[in-house]
Chain A
Amino acid sequence: MMSQMMTISDAAAERVKLLMSKRDKPAAGIRIGVRTAGCSGLQYTIEYAEARNEFDEIVEDKGVTILVDPKAAMFLLGTEMDFVDEKMKSGFVFKNPNEKGKCGCGESFHV
């Protein structure tokens, strides 16, 4: 099997499955994208995917289907998606070996 272009941690996989089961519409998976915005260039986006697109890179890991936007693939190679549950807030983070810097608020990054 080809090595996965990105991976997902156990905590993140559990969380995604939970969120997808609570969603009122069925989803084909989650779509990870990258867009140019924020003060440091790029920003990750995570959205529910209604359907697979022709050019999506598909990653199946720990029972979760991740659709990687083809434009984002080159930025995400080797990235692990993790879930953080802190006292005050929780959410997903990307551990991206390609990242060369983040902006102060962490909303955006550059490679």
Chain B
Amino acid sequence: MLLQIHEPGQTPMPHAGDNLAVGIDLGTTNSLVAISRDGKPEVLRDPRGRSLIPSIIAYKTDGAVAVGDDARLVLLDEPERVISSIKRLMGRGTDDVKRLAGSLPHELAPGRSGEMVKLVIGDRVVSPVEVSAEILRELRHRGEGALGQSVTRAVVTVPAYFDDAARTATKDAARLAGLEVLRLVNEPTAAALAYGLDKGAEGTFAVYDLGGGTFDVSILRLEKGVFQVLATGGDAALGGDDFDHAIAEHFLAQSPGAAPSAAEVKRALFSARLAKECLSTQDSGEWWIERDGRRSAHPLDRATLDRLLGPLVERTIAICGEVLHDARLAVEDLAGVVLVGGSTRVPLVQRRVAEFFARPPLSDIDPDEVVALGAALQAEALTRGSDTLLLDVTPLSLGIETLGGLVEKIIPRNTAIPVAKAQEFTTYQDGQDAMVVHVVQGEREMVDQNRSLARFTLAGIPPMTAGAARVRVEFAVDADGLLTVSAREQTTGREQRVEVRPTYGLPPEDMERMLRESMKHARDDLARRLLTEARVEGERALLALEGALRKDSQLLSAPERSTIETAVARLRRSVQGEDRDDIMQAITALDGACQDFAQRRMDHGVASALKGLTIDRVERDMAGGRG
């Protein structure tokens, strides 16, 4: 690198080039883009001063694509060509959404099991990635318009519960939109950054995020500059839109008549929304609705509004309680609460959050913008070399399948990323020349209760006795939470690797369910694991003995052989059963029956085929792995 002399103060920052990096909040209802310079983030606006871009896309009949407010206009004439809330489908597979099919507003393209879901819009078939890319492209253009220069790099926020598939899909969407994703950051983490919580003392924070259509609450712990997501919860169908509905129903109920028409409901919702927004700052007002061609006035005051919204707000508070409970925390353990999402402007929400958490929440940053501002700060930190090194954690444990359908966890949940961990595994059978590496995600002990992410085969293992091969399996999770798994046979150096890009992902409610179940079933799981381990051990013993008998049965007398056969039969029966102790006893019995045989085989100089039961055990204990 050769340096030049610059005018005072004009020395360019390294690695900055011409490119700034922006922060993007890709929301379910609204999206926005922000930039940070010298640690001061600001939201980028269009020439009319608007910061929010509604996350709505219209695929028009003439082939043109409209995004945001323009797409909303299409909604009036051709609602079937308009897509909203696409974020809910990010990274979802056809299997995931099959059960939702009836309730989705769009026709789903028929897809093979395991493929990413696609939507049919007129004569087009689009994937959630493509739809999200349209929003991101619009955000990029807005950024370029406001900054007067090209924007090619961004930090994009995702919900804390987004799994690998949804994160990959988000990254793919950004790439399609011409944006390099410097990092994906969890939304609650971004909000915490915007409030500068990373600069303060270590502590635990709650982030209460009530948007237009979704509610999320996350518990973050800041430790040594790293934010860990301790717990998340929420309701994917609860938000400000439900507030509007509650108010509109109240208005409509006041002017009895036939069932209101679609247009009348729309008008009532519009008034309801106005009322909600006005009553955030005023104490009362009057709003109009239309019914059977007549307009009627409806007064509403703050107290009535609170009564209407009360049940909805209480639902969010109940979820906060559950999440705290999940994280095994009490309200007193928290150092602060952050409000995110436009719906947290409602005074009742602020009051109830303050009451529940027993402290006034942090709310002085615009709750619609706070996530994008945090993302912008992170983008600046990544491009301008700041001290803030933001780390995230793995949301669920990652592991591989071992014998008997058990899961060996390699990277436990809540490990700070980026991270790489390796473990050695070995072969199970003599002469085994391949090993299947099955990558799973989840907290349970058994493979079938977790989620399968990828499966590949490491072939070309040289023929060796069982337990002699050494296969090193490495899991590496990059800063975006994406996983690469590699397996390497140590003697030959043969290696296989996969980048885990699952074709579809895990819906948040499933993630939550999996976490819950892992706690609920902890004891059963352990029992089942122990039973399976016993079975695997029994089967290994049988297999090892079988091999030994095939080679060296001449070393046995007839009575000896029948003793062994009896012990074998007993063990065979036991491993079919459910009684772990019985299996362990049968293994011990077989071990005893074979002791002499094993000794004799050793003496016989068949050391190369070290497979007597007891020796087999010693060997395996030394290798320390199963495979």
Residues on A close to B: CB < 8 A? 16, 19, 30-31, 36-39, 43-50, 84, 86, 89-94, 105-108
Contacts and interface: CB of A to CB of B under 8 A. Distances in A.
Given A36-B385, A39-B385, A43-B14, A50 B6 contact: no
A47 B385 contact: no
Contacts of B10: 47
Given A93-B2, A107-B1, 5 more contacts: A46-B4, A46-B5, A47-B6, A50-B8, A106-B1
> What 9 A-B pairs are tightest by C-beta distance, nearest first?
A91-B2, A106-B1, A38-B14, A107-B14, A37-B385, A45-B11, A92-B3, A46-B5, A47-B8
Contacts of B4: 46, 91-92
Contacts of A36: 385
B8 A38 contact: no
Contacts of A93: 1-3
B605 interface: no
B38 interface: no
A47 B9 contact: yes
A92 B9 contact: no
11 contacts: A31-B8, A37-B14, A37-B384, A37-B385, A45-B6, A47-B5, A47-B11, A86-B2, A90-B2, A93-B2, A108-B385
A50 B11 CA distance: 15
B237 interface: no
Contacts of A86: 2
Interface in B1-42: 1-11, 13-15
A90 B5 CA distance: 11
A48 B5 contact: yes
A38 B14 CA distance: 5
Interface in B57-99: none
B473 to A, nearest CB: 29
Contact of A30 (B2, B5, B13): B5
Contacts of A48: 5-8
Interface in B461-496: none
A102 to B, nearest CB: 8
B6 A46 contact: yes
A40 to B, nearest CB: 9
Contact of A37 (B1, B5, B8, B13): B13
B3 A46 contact: yes
A100 B7 CA distance: 29
A38 B15 contact: yes
Contacts of B15: 38-39, 105, 107
Contacts of A94: 3
Nearest to B385: A37
A106 to B, nearest CB: 3
A101 to B, nearest CB: 14
Contact of B5 (A16, A89, A106): A16
